Amino acid sequence: MPRIATQLTDTEIKKAKPKDRNYKMTDGKGLYLIVSTNGGKWWRMDYTFADKRKTLSLGTYPTVTLTDARSEALELKRLIHQGIDPLEQRKEEKQQTKEETKLSEFERSTQLHLVVDEWFTLHEKKVSDYTAGKTRALLYNKLIPHFGEYTPKGHLKRSTPISHIKHHEITALLKEVSKETEYTAKRLKQFLERIWLFAVTSGYCEQNIIANISNEILPAAKVEHIAKITDEQTLSRLLHGIENYTGGVMVRAALQFVTYTMLRASTLVNLKWEYVDFAAKTLTIPRDEMKVKDSNLNDFTLPLVDQAVRVLEEIKPYSGGGAYIFAINGKPINKESGNKALRLMGFDGTEGRAKQTMHSFRGTFRSLANTHQEEHNAPYEVKEAILDHQVGGKVERAYTHKSDYVKQMRALLEWYAGYLEGVKYG
């Protein structure tokens, strides 16, 4: 009968004494310990790769314990199973370490991923969490992998110093991304321009190489407008559908409220009761909670029409004891809850049906306000102010205050509420 191999124990290893020649203590599955004539104990692992017998050193005992050696051997076998030769990988890592030590301290500190991290920390303070998340995904899924080196497990080890990146490398990246989606390539180039400008300003590189890349190398992006309902018959069905929605009090209230306020979904679900002035019928949202977080702009003040106030009064008994308006058990509802409800009502754009999302209410308002301009005569700036769109350049905006428009905004919103009532009840 074949002999059944037994695994080593710590006691056996500790008691192992040197002999007149080196000898082997086998743990099994290629792992063994060499006991030298001077008493040293070295871990080794034998393996076969591409029909060649190879041996790896795993360190010395007791610095590398029996448990550690087995764990390391298991990890190496996983690499072999993935088609990676551990011995060759070690050689490559040593070479990479040598190359890395050749980099100056400045170059190590200005690797692309570190510069992007620094820029992103500043950028995310100026935009909504949703926008910041999309930007992060774009940069870390498209840009960093192109200039980064990763471990077999997919962890980033290092990236090219930003000053080493060449013009033609960025051009190649943008062309590659444009094959997947033209719009994404355009957005990526916009962020690259800002990152390189930041790097030049910070002294991390000498030249903004992105500024010399023409937009003509990228195909023209196809503009896809967000779906919105403007047809009166369909709009009437939408308003009745919201009123009769039975999937939840808070979700129905959020849909009713956004109909008359046109707030972005991420802003809407995070509204707090402290922002509401029932006496003045206004909603004032801190600037840092809006999409545009420019500290030079005033907080966003939106007049509330009677229909919007009634929605708040109806749900106050449900959530008035907490901080958030549209909340369940004290926590804000998910910003996708409204979109899901609209799909359940049938406004999903499939099989010829109209499509409406939470964001679509902004487009519905803007389109109808333009169509019926002669009925309300509101200036362009007022229509944009309701949506918190910034008009003009920075200098012009510095002299423009949202509070100047509140009275005109109220007049336009009351016209719009009356228009919707007329559409709803025919």
The percent of residues in the chain predicted with pLDDT above 90, rounded, is 53
Q: Number of structural domains, the chain?
A: 3
The radius of gyration of the chain from alpha carbons, rounded to an integer in Å, stands at 32
Residues 90 and 115 in one domain: no
pLDDT band per the 50, 70, 90 thresholds, residue 402: very low
Residues 83 and 143 in one domain: no
**Confidence (pTM):** 0.53
Residues 251 and 380 in one domain: yes
DSSP 209-277: GGGGS-GGGSPPPPP-PPP----HHHHHHHHHHHHT--S-HHHHHHHHHHHHH---HHHHHT-BGGGEE
Q: Domain containing 188: what range?
A: 106-217
Q: For residue 64, what is the domain's CATH number?
A: 3.30.160.390
Per-residue pLDDT of 43-77, as tens digits, reads 999 998 888 899 988 888 988 999 999 999 998 88
pLDDT band per the 50, 70, 90 thresholds, residue 29: confident
Q: For residue 312, what is the domain's CATH number?
A: 1.10.443.10
Q: Do 184 and 141 meet the contact criterion of CB atoms below 8 Å apart?
A: no
Does the N-terminal peptide bond of residue 2 adopt cis geometry, omega within 30 degrees of 0? Answer: no
Diameter of the chain measured on Cα atoms: 106
pLDDT band per the 50, 70, 90 thresholds, residue 369: very high
Expressed in angstroms, the distance from the first to the final Cα of the chain is 94
Residues 139 and 70 in one domain: no
- Tell which wins on pLDDT, 180 or 364: 364
Which region holds residue 275: left if phi is over 0, alpha if psi is between -120 and 50, else beta? alpha
Residues 307 and 202 in one domain: no
Q: According to the model, what pLDDT value does residue 149 have?
A: 84
Residue 347, pLDDT > 70, answer yes
Q: Do 330 and 272 meet the contact criterion of CB atoms below 8 Å apart?
A: no
How much is the mean pLDDT over the chain?
87
Residue 307, pLDDT > 90, answer yes
Picking from 85, 100, 115, the residue at the C-terminal end of a domain is: 100
Q: Select, from the ranges 82-86, 256-260, 345-349, the one with the highest average predicted confidence (pLDDT).
A: 256-260
Angle at alpha carbon of residue 377, lines to 372 and 380, rounded to 5°: 90
Residues 338 and 404 in one domain: yes
